[in-house]
Amino acid sequence: MAQVILQDVQKSFGKDIAVDRFSLEVKDHEFMVFVGPSGCGKTTTLRMIAGLEDITAGDIYIGDRLVNRIPPKERDVAMVFQNYALYPHMSVFDNMAFGLKLKKKPRKEIEHRVKETAEMLGISEFLDRKPKALSGGQRQRVALGRAIVRVPQVYLFDEPLSNLDAKLRIQMRLELKKLHERMERTSIYVTHDQIEAMTMGDRIVVMKNGLIQQVGEPLELYFMPTNRFVASFIGSPTMNFIRAHIEQAGDNLMVGSEGLQLPVPDKKIEALAAYGNREVILGIRPDDLSATGTLGERGTLRAGVVVVQPVGSQIYLEVKVGSLSLIASVNAQTRVKPRQEIILKARLENLHFFDPSTEKAIY
């Protein structure tokens, strides 16, 4: 059993606070992803769990053990670094056997385990080579192998895929996930790539400026972001944000801005009633704008196409609604040209609302 528990963990470098009030419980065998823009403290947090960085305040438990003062080598964790950190003067075999040799395992066992792991990762044929004779993807596998071969309680990944090209990254994403299922170990994975986070994580921690913004399952973050930052960080293309007014129109509550009037979805009416005649931030995901509407229908808006970006499965449209600039992700079959006028239909139940001063979501 190796859950990882962080309680009010704080890290400061001099006066700068890098990580603040970080509390989290990573369950046994869970694949937890830390995501956020660079400098948000995600790597620092990972390094604190690894023991490479002292913690300024708070407690970290691995399993049932308080590890605050336990050195890295006794924490039973393995880490995969962004730059792989392979020893350039050792062969792939020696790189992978390094930890086992230090643990004074019998030679037979080391050989067996390294070979088995190498086979699993498809690097058996490179065991005699030096890292510099390998491609980026192969080095990545060796780094992975070196971590796996030790079979620690917890795996830590620090942006392990960010040095690979896009195609390889997607392939490794899948392999890592499969590996996780197979190894049945707790994993904590740091990335700045929200797609990596969404596709790999059982749960995701979104961080910004050293603070946890939200912890949740991937789709929970997508559909119910707790604040504007999470809403903008998760999902691609980024959510459209519009400063809008809540107005009472007959029986309906309407949200409107220049050139745009949408009825407030039923489930949000109660929460938004308090914002009557006040400003809110309306969030619409590009995916929730389709080109299937007919004018006059509930939740439609008239838009002028500015830029058309086909990506294959979808077409990203940059459109003008009044003076607002919005992105819509519409069906690939849609035939549109720049300067053409179209009718967009918003999926009303998926509209997001944020308080303009706190930027928190209004539920």
Partner 1 sequence: MAQRFAQKLLRFYIPLILFLLFLLFPFYWMLVTTFKSDVELYNLSLNPFYIYTWSLANVKHLLFDTPFLRWLFNTFLVSVVSAFISLATSLLAAYGIQRIRFRGSGFMGIAIFFCYLVPPTILFIPLATMVFKLKIWDSLVSLSIIYPTFLIPFCTWLLMGYFKSIPKELEECAMMDGASRLWVFFKVIIPLSLPGIVSAGIFAFTLSWNEYLYALTFISSSLKKTISVGLVTELVRGDVYHWGPLMAGALLGSVPIALIYSFFVEYYVAGMTGALKE
Can you tell me which of 11, 113, 150, 185 binds partner 1, judged by CB under 8 A?
A: 150
The DSSP letter of residue 54 is -
Total of residues contacting partner 1 (CB under 8 A): 27
Would you count residue 208 as binding partner 1 (CB under 8 A)? no
Number of other residues whose CB lies within 10 A of the CB of residue 280? 20
Instruction: Confirm or reject binding of residue 282 to partner 1 (CB under 8 A).
Output: no
Question: Looking at the DSSP assignment, which residues form a beta bridge with residue 102?
Answer: none
**Which residue, 145 or 283, has its beta carbon nearer to partner 1?**
145
72 binds partner 1 (CB under 8 A): yes
Minimum CB separation of residue 81 from partner 1 in Å reads: 4
The residue among 71 and 250 lying less far from partner 1, judged by its C-beta, is 71
Binding status of residue 107 toward partner 1 by CB under 8 A: no
Least Cα distance to 28 among 174, 137, 185, 175 occurs for: 185
Nearer to partner 1, 28 or 94 (CB): 94
Cis peptide before 88 (omega within 30 of 0): no
Give the β-pairing of 154-158 and 77-80: parallel
Q: What track of x and - describes contact with partner 1 for positions 47 through 66 (by CB under 8 A)? A: ---xxx--------------
In whole angstroms, the minimum distance from the beta carbon of 140 to partner 1 comes to: 13
Least distance CB 145 / partner 1 (angstroms): 13
Which H/E stretch holds residue 183? Answer: helix 166-183
Compare residues 69 and 132 and give the one whose CB is closer to partner 1. 132
Shortest distance, position 136 Cβ to partner 1, whole Å: 11
Among residues 254, 243, 298, which one has the least CA distance to residue 276?
254
> d(Cα 55, Cα 26) in Å, to the nearest integer?
18
Q: Token digits for 332?
A: 């690939």
Closest among 97, 121, 120 to 107, alpha carbons compared: 97
Non-local CB neighbours of 250 within 8 Å, separated by 6+ positions = none
Residue 135 found at the interface with partner 1 (CB under 8 A): no
Q: Which residues bind partner 1 (CB under 8 A)?
A: 50-52, 71-73, 75, 77-79, 81-83, 85-89, 98-99, 102-103, 131-132, 139, 146, 150
